[in-house]
Structure 1
Amino acid sequence: MRVIRFGEQTATPWANGGGHTVTLLQHPAHAEPTEVIWRLSVAEIVGSSAFSMFRGLSRWFVPLTDEVEVTVDEQSNRVHPLDALSFDGADRVSTRQHQQTTHNLNIMVRTGAVDLRLRRCTLEPGESLGPRLTPSSARPIGDEYPGELDALVVLDGRLTGASGEVAPWSLVTEPTGCDLAATAPTHVLHVHITLADRGKPSAAHPL
């Protein structure tokens, strides 16, 4: 298990000045945003903003703090906190929110290159995380298949364990069987990414 704490990562400002992005983890590690196979990040959006286009990528958008109105190719969608909206990276996307500043989880995957599975879990105070997580795939994952990911994102609340406290918007890799437990009502998103060319067609399985 590895904990990637949101507060310890560097924020990258947007070119249009509409916000900034904190990359939690991506593959390849040093690729430009347009060249990644997958990326998990948290964006801070200030006011209304237009998204950059990422052709060849599929995207999932999860508001973390407030409801956001997301317009995708002129189709308006009200997305509530912790719900997910998926769209193509080549779509024209803009956002409008009630609060001046919002934070949002963004997941991008190379279309056709990976199998993505997402599952949201709710933990009550004192409830352990480990028993709630079952292996997402019978196929092994990790060093044998670099570029694959089994992880969870803490959407809200708080977890604690031998590795210390895990605050919202942090990422925990290889979490199955971990000793983390909730110290407040907590929502986590289990993210499982495998390579599509391991004998299975690419697919996306949303929340």
Structure 2
Amino acid sequence: MKIVRAGECKTTAWKNGGGSTTEIAAAPAGASLDNFDWRVSMARVASDGPFSEFAGIDRTLAVVNGSALSLTIGKAAPIVLDRHSDPISFAGDTATSARLAAGEITDLNVMTRRGRFTHRLLRIRESRQCDFDDHDIALVLACCGKLELTFLQESVTLIEGDAAILTPAGNAAFQVAPELPADGCVVLLRECRSQAG
């Protein structure tokens, strides 16, 4: 279990001044925005505007703090996301823009390079046991408040912005227990493997 404390994460302001991004974890180590296999980050969105395009990248986004965000993906009708919405997935190379409903928000953003990794993003609003479900990596994030994570008889407390990175050990599951009204997210990552024959 690798723990990533919020204070260890690097925050970078956007060039357009519309917000900032805090990288929680990415692979391979030291990867840039041009060559990562997967990346998990949180963004503070302070103004309306287009998303950066990422060719060959699949994305999932969830609002974790603030009011709401209206997302327009390609030519589809706008979708409104708030802290209670399910995460939404879309292609990083599809033109996407966001409009704030009432002040800035913070979102969780998961990106994987198509053909290298796939991912799932799950919201955790109550205590539950989670399985890896044939994934190679699980990242547990405290989005708001405090949660307790237990894996292989080891327990750790994660506070807002902290994360833990887990890799499977046999059939062992992990337990995530938010201290209500806290909530968290679990990101499951699977490496794409070549099919024989």
TM-score (ref. length: structure 1): 0.77
In structure 2, the residue matched to 1:12 is 12
CA distance in 2, matches of 1:136, 1:168: 26
- Quickly say closer, same or farther: Cα 1:158–1:195, change in 2 above 3 A: same
Within 2, Cα distance between the matches of 1:13 and 1:163? 34
**In structure 2, do the counterparts of structure 1 residues 180 and 88 end up closer, same or farther at CA, with 3 Å as the change threshold?**
closer
Instruction: Give me the whole-angstrom Cα distance separating, in 1, the residues matched to 2:188 and 2:194.
Output: 14
1:167-186 matches, within 5 Å, as: 167-174=159-166, 181-186=177-182
- Give the Cα–Cα distance (whole angstroms) in 1 for the partners of residues 119 and 174 of structure 2: 22
Q: Which runs of 5+ in 1 are unaligned?
A: 142-148, 201-207
* Structure 2 Cα separation of the partners of residues 96 and 42 of structure 1: 17
- The corresponding residue for 2:88 is 85
Aligned residue for 2:70? 69
The aligned counterpart of 1:108 is: 111
Displacement after TM superposition at 1:46 (Å): 0.9
Q: Give the C-alpha shift of residue 105 in structure 1.
A: 0.3
Cα 1:84–1:160 change in 2 (3 A) is closer
In 2: Cα distance, 1:115 partner to 1:179 partner: 23
- 2:34 alignment partner, SS class: helix
Amino acid aligned to 1:99? A
Asked if 1:192 is matched to 2:188, the reply is yes
* 3-state DSSP of counterpart to 2:54: coil
The TM-score normalised by the length of structure 2 is 0.81
Match of 1:156? Answer: 144
Using the TM superposition, give the Cα deviation of residue 23 of structure 1 relative to its aligned residue in structure 2, in angstroms: 0.3
Change (3 A) 1:55 1:121: same
Task: Give the Cα separation in 2 of the matches to 1:70 and 1:64.
Answer: 15
**Which amino acid in structure 2 is aligned with residue 155 of structure 1?**
C
8 Å contact from structure 2 (residues 23, 40) kept in 1? yes
CA contact (8 A) 2:145 2:183 kept: yes
**2:147 & 2:115 partners in 1: Cα distance?**
34
Q: Once the 2 structures are TM-superposed, how far is the Cα of residue 114 of structure 1 from its aligned partner?
A: 1.6
CA contact (8 A) 2:124 2:185 kept: yes
Q: Please, what is the CA RMSD of the aligned residues?
A: 2.5
Matches within 5 A, 1:15-54: 15-54=15-54
Q: Cα distance 1:95–1:157, how it changes in 2: closer, same or farther (>3 A)?
A: same
1:133 aligned onto 2:125: no
More strand by share: 2
- SS of 1:64's partner is strand
Q: Is the 8 A contact 2:60 2:121 kept in 1?
A: no
Q: Secondary structure at the match of 2:112?
A: strand
CA contact (8 A) 2:58 2:92 kept: yes
Number of aligned residue pairs: give it. 185
CA separation of 1:135 and 1:165: change in aligned 2, threshold 3 A: closer
